[in-house]
Amino acid sequence: MTPHAASAPRVLVATAVPAERDAVAGALTGAATGPSVDVLAVGVGPAAAAAGTATALARGAAEGRPYTLVVSAGIGGGFQPDAPVGSLVVADEITVADLGAETPEGFTPVTGLGFGAVTHRPPPSLVRELADACGAATGAVLTVSTVTGSAGRAAALRLRHPRALAEAMEGFGVAEAAVLHGLPVLEVRAVSNPVGPRDRAAWRIGDALSALSDAFGKFTPVLRSCTTHDR
């Protein structure tokens, strides 16, 4: 599909769960002016994220009010020490980390098998502006179908993706849907836990949701001036 360059700015923010949706939406209410922003909880994992996002984008287009920008947002795991708990990451690269094949030589991404894509790149100027607005770090955010639960897996991921700052479960799915519709995509993660040995009780979900909400409160001016043709 072709980009909707002449459309009025309309932003779709896709979160995994309702708590993330509410954190984002709560920061946007009360803004007197700004872009049209819809926040949708599309489910956990890349498949649910792709399906839910693609459906919303198709509905917007069918209604004659197409979206112009898609954002994957939520909490995530942070690679230590670069992305501490409570910090924010804006992805300059959205990479699926476990889509491929195990071979005798190790993991081969689907692109190495001759299929598809494993990385989508958000518009660099928009990444910079959003990161500056909220004080986020920028780097790769990995999409995984299985939450990392060991130091060994964390180290292996970092070895394969040295620029990775965070991992989550939806970004690549959201990005695939956006690309299908010819739209730019962003990913914003608030770090709730370190990537590493599983300790679910120690996840700082409340702190991460607050950080996510604060970030979106600061995004409004950037998103307001955002058009697709100048990125």
59: which 2 tokens? 């509905």
Cα distances from 154 to residues 69, 96, 195, in angstroms, run: 31, 15, 6
Nearer of residues 138 and 193 to ligand LNDFFVEH, judged by Cβ: 193
- Minimum separation from the CB atom of position 205 to ligand LNDFFVEH (A): 5
- Minimum separation from the CB atom of position 32 to ligand LNDFFVEH (A): 29
Side-chain half-sphere CA neighbours of 204 within 13 A: 16
Within 69-98, the residues that bind ligand LNDFFVEH by CB under 6 A are 74-77
Nearer of residues 58 and 147 to ligand LNDFFVEH, judged by Cβ: 147
Within 151-180, the residues that bind ligand LNDFFVEH by CB under 6 A are 167-170
What CA–CA distance (Å, rounded) separates 91 from 186? 7
Q: Which amino acid is at 46?
A: P
Dihedral class, residue 106 (left if φ above 0, else alpha if ψ from -120 to 50, else beta): left
Give yes or no for a contact between 108 and 100, defined as CB atoms under 8 angstroms apart.
yes
Pairing of strands 137-143, 88-96: parallel
Q: Does 57 help bind ligand LNDFFVEH (rule: CB under 6 A)?
A: no
Q: Interface mask (CB under 6 A) for ligand LNDFFVEH, residues 16-45, using x and -?
A: xx-xx-----------------------x-
- Minimum separation from the CB atom of position 2 to ligand LNDFFVEH (A): 30
- Minimum separation from the CB atom of position 148 to ligand LNDFFVEH (A): 6
Dihedral class, residue 227 (left if φ above 0, else alpha if ψ from -120 to 50, else beta): beta
Tokens 């009025």 identify what position? 8
Per CB under 6 A, residues contacting ligand LNDFFVEH are: 16-17, 19-20, 44, 74-77, 144, 147-148, 167-170, 192-193, 195, 205
